[in-house]
Chain A
Amino acid sequence: MRLLLAVALATAPLAAQSPHTRLEGRVPAAALPGIDSLIEQAVAESLPTEPLVQKALEGGAKGIPVKRLVNGVRHGLVQLRDARAIVSRATPARVTLDGDVASVAAALARGLDPQLVERLLAGAPPPGESPGPVLHAAADLVTHGFPADSAADLLRTAQQDGLRGSRLLDVAVAASHELQREGGRTPMEALTRVRAMLPNVPVATPPHPRTVTRRAGPGS
C-alpha cells in the first residue's frame, strides 16, 4: 500500500481557545453573532458546545451561506436539547455527561428513533461507559434493514452476554455479513444466527497500513 506522507501536527488544546476565537476567520463574519448566541444558549443550558463549534466550522469550510449555516448550528442545538432530555429520562439516577448527550445527538442525526434510543440507553452500559457504540451498532443494523426492535433486542442480549464498546459494533457487522451470505437470509434469520453466536461474534480486523500519520489537529 502506498505510504502516506506523515506529519505529526501539533494539536492545540481545544479547551485553551474560546469557541469565538476558534470560529473567527473560519466562518463568515456575518454568521458569527448568530452562532455565538447559540453557543451561549448551549452554555446556559449546560449542553456541550463542541458539536456546535464543529458544525459551524464545517459550514464555514464548506462555504455554506450564512443563513443556512446558522440554521445548521441551531438544528444542532435542538438535537442536543432532545438528546439531553432522552438521556435524563432513560437514566434519571445518573449524572448526565456531555459525552453521552453528544452520542445520543449523533444517534438522532443518524436517524435512530428517539424511543429506540431511550430504550437502548435504559438497558445500557454501566456508568462511565459511553453509550456511543451501542447506539451506532443499532443505527448500523437499522440502516441495513433490520427491524429496529429486533436489532435492539439483539444488542441487549449481547450486552447481557458481556459484550461492551466496539464489540457491539462487531455484532452489527456479523448481522450484516449473515444477511449477505450466499443463498440469502432474511433479516430475522440473520439476527437469529448472530444471537446463536453470542458472545463469540467475529472480531473486526483493524486496518494495518504500513505507515500512518497522527491526527492533524485543531489549529494546525
Chain B
Amino acid sequence: MTQIDPRLQEALDGERDPATLPAGLREAFARLSEAAQLLRDPPAVSVAERVMAEIRLDATVPAVSPLGAARRLVTWLSRPRAVTLRLRPAWTLALAAALAAIVLLPIEQSIAPKAHEGIAQFVGHFPGARSVEVVGSFNDWRRGALPLSDEDHDGIWHGAVVLPAGQHEYMFVVDGERWVADPLAGRYVDDGFGAGRQNALLIVRP
C-alpha cells in the first residue's frame, strides 16, 4: 500500500493549511478533496430508482409479444457486461495444463468395437525405418490412412485399429515405398498380379 505524505494527510485532516503544501502535494490535495466531496454528496438519482426505472422500461413491452421477447433478448445479448473472474493460481495452472494436454497431445482415444467389429493390432520390426503404415482392403488401399508409430525408436512399430469382423488383406509400406507383407501375419494370400507376391491376411474376430 502506498504511504501518503504526512503533510498531505495533515492537510486532509484539517490540521495544516493546504496553502503551505508544496505544489505537487497541493494538486493531490485538490483531487482528493474533490473525490471526497463527490462521495459526500448523495447521487442525483439513487441506485434503487435507476433499477426501478429499468424495470418499468421493460414492463412497457408486452410479455407475450414474440417481437418484444426478441427485442429484449437482443438487448440483453448486446448490452456490455462486466465479468469478474477470480482465479487461484494453483487451479489456473491445473486448468491450463489440462487444456494443453487436450490440445497438444495426439488425438488418442479408446474406441470400443461394436458388435460386428474387432480390434486389429499391427506390429512390425523395421529398424531404421522413417515411417511404416498399413495399407489394405479396409482402407481401400489408400496411403496415409493408418500410420504405425515407434515412439521409443527401438525399430518396433505399433498400431491398432477397429475393423469390421471378417477378412482383410493388407501390406506394410515402409518409408513410403517398400511394400512388405507382415512377417507376423501367419496368413498370406497371393496378390494375383502374377509376380508371386503375397498380401498378409488378417481375420478380425468380433
Contact = CB atoms under 8 A, between A and B. Distances in A.
A36 B162 CA distance: 31
B150 A210 contact: no
Contact of A215 (B107, B148, B159, B161): B161
A26 B141 CA distance: 9
Interface string B170-206: 0100000001000000010111111100010101011
B193 A57 contact: no
Nearest to B157: A2
Given A2-B149, A6-B109, A136-B203, A109 B189 contact: yes
Contact of B160 (A4, A7, A9, A64): A4
A142 to B, nearest CB: 11
Contacts of A216: 138-139, 142, 145-146, 161
Contacts of A220: 139, 142, 145
Given A58-B169, A213-B162, A5 B142 contact: no
B107 A6 contact: yes
B106 A212 contact: no
B107 A5 contact: yes
Chain B CB within 10 Å — which of A62, A169, A211 has the most? A62
Contacts of A64: 193
Contacts, number: 151
B92 to A, nearest CB: 28
Contact of A2 (B145, B158, B194): B158
Interface residues of B, number: 52
A171 to B, nearest CB: 13
A69 B203 CA distance: 25
Contacts of B119: 206-209, 212
A91 interface: no
Interface residues of A, number: 57
B163 interface: yes
Contact of A211 (B138, B160, B163, B194): B160
A22 B164 CA distance: 20
A220 B17 CA distance: 84
B49 interface: no
A9 B193 CA distance: 30
Given A72-B193, A215-B162, A207 B121 contact: yes
B33 interface: no
Chain B CB within 10 Å — which of A166, A209, A217 has the most? A209
A46 interface: no
Interface string B132-147: 0001011111110111
A110 B158 contact: no
A212 B162 contact: yes
Chain B CB within 10 Å — which of A60, A139, A212, A217 has the most? A212
A99 to B, nearest CB: 9
A140 B201 CA distance: 11
Interface of B: 106-111, 118-121, 135, 137-143, 145-152, 158-167, 169, 171, 179, 187, 189-195, 199, 201, 203, 205-206
9 contacts: A3-B106, A57-B142, A61-B141, A62-B171, A71-B193, A143-B187, A207-B160, A215-B161, A217-B140
